[in-house]
Amino acid sequence: MALSRRKTLALLGGGFIVAAGTGAALEITRTPRTAAAPWGKAGGYSDPRMQALSYAILAPNPHNQQPWLVDLSTPGEITLLVNQDKLLPHTDPFSRQITIGLGCFLEVLRMAALEEGYEAQMDIFPEGSDAAALDNRPVARIRLEPTTAAPDPLFAHVLDRRSLKEPFDTTRPVPAASLAALKAAVPGARIGTSADAEFIAEYRELTTDALEIELLTPHTFKESVDVFRVGARATDAQPDGIDLTGPMIEFARLGGQMTEARLMDASSISFREGMRATLENSMTAMGYVWLTTATNTRADQIATGAHWVRVNLAATAEGLGFQPLSQALQEYPEMAELFARVHAELAPDGGTVQMLCRLGYGPDVAASPRWPVEAKVVDA
């Protein structure tokens, strides 16, 4: 999955090439100028549909692919579609995780609409769906109807929500009260939590092993490399995928160190050191939360997304760092052994473990880049 900017530096290995001159200095210190703008523009629309959508596009999603497209051609209606170019066929061959991301989108849309006095009435997969693949059929049709229902308290945390890909403070345990707050955010969901020392020790190792498999499997790691946005200019130009920005990244890019060949060479010292640094994050987990479902239909996956973003928002309210670590839940052959082990342990009575996340306390980080909401409207 995504590598943090700090960890990615280790992938460069030794020997940055010195970039000289004023122009290079300006490039090295450049930060993205437009990629974070949608976070500041959310809530600034007069059309209730665009108002709700301006928050929905901030929802978490796999590899920050932002796979949503919306058709507004029918007055008063939103049709949600999936962008077929934003799927992840190697790590997510059945688009289960992408569908969960679409569920996150719909839940944030629902909360945003409610904040403005509208109920989002949703018809999920109104023309049916395929369990093996997402296609061009609508994911949902949504109508906004006036309501007097109270706003959702979790909506207050939408702009502060993050997926925190940095080390956690291993001196600060996760309180039982915070774990209870996560459960309270999704009444009726099959949610598990643990801050037990033995569980933490086991799952630090398990999630690290799963990350290692993804990094050492060329076709799954290349799926990440293919969506790296290296440097501020690339991030502004294409504000989806995995952004890698900051002075050291810019310096390495100018020095020719951030090429696909260098990133993919598993035999190099730089790759091995980079992998070691990347795996450090998972070894700082101070607690875990996971979601399971009895069955694994598209409707289950959409519902999981709604529950997942609510748990993320509840963690934000508690001041907890939150990073999905669902590599062991991915359905490709190289991951089969860990997949079976996680399901045996976390869903012993059957069902599907849909999401797994590490918890702890970590630093504040910037919001992930986003396309503006207008870029996601395919018809209006």
Of 349, 347, 343, 344, nearest to 331 by C-alpha is: 343
**What pLDDT, on the 0 to 100 scale, is given for residue 101?**
98
Mean of the per-residue pLDDT values for the chain? Answer: 90
> Is the per-residue pLDDT at 2 higher than 50?
no
**What pLDDT, on the 0 to 100 scale, is given for residue 229?**
83
Give residue limits of the domains in the chain.
162-210+282-360
- The pLDDT tens digits of the residues spanning 152-171 come to 999 999 999 999 999 999 99
DSSP labels for 323-342? EE--GGG--SGGGHHHHHHH
Contact 353, 325 (CB under 8 A): no
Kindly state the percentage of the chain with pLDDT values over 90: 78
Rounded to an integer, the average pLDDT of 210-220 is: 94
For residue 273, name the pLDDT band (cuts at 50, 70, 90): low
- Determine the Cα–Cα distance for residues 209 and 178; give it in Å rounded to an integer: 27
**What pLDDT, on the 0 to 100 scale, is given for residue 247?**
61
- Determine the Cα–Cα distance for residues 316 and 160; give it in Å rounded to an integer: 7
- Residue with tokens 């101070």, as numbered in its chain: 286
**What pLDDT, on the 0 to 100 scale, is given for residue 118?**
98
Q: 162-210+282-360 architecture in CATH?
A: 3-Layer(aba) Sandwich (3.40)
For residue 228, name the pLDDT band (cuts at 50, 70, 90): confident
- Determine the Cα–Cα distance for residues 11 and 242; give it in Å rounded to an integer: 15
For residue 180, name the pLDDT band (cuts at 50, 70, 90): very high
SS3 of residue 185 by DSSP: coil
> Is the per-residue pLDDT at 203 higher than 80?
yes
Instruction: Give Rg (Cα) of the chain.
Output: 20
- Determine the Cα–Cα distance for residues 139 and 56; give it in Å rounded to an integer: 15
Rounded to an integer, the average pLDDT of 39-55 is: 98
Rounded to an integer, the average pLDDT of 335-355 is: 98
pTM of the model: 0.91
What is each CA distance from 96 to 22, 103, 164, 275, 361, in whole angstroms?
47, 11, 22, 26, 29
- The pLDDT tens digits of the residues spanning 286-317 come to 999 999 999 999 999 999 999 999 999 999 99
- The pLDDT tens digits of the residues spanning 78-128 come to 999 999 999 999 999 999 999 999 999 999 999 999 999 999 999 999 999
- Determine the Cα–Cα distance for residues 22 and 24; give it in Å rounded to an integer: 5
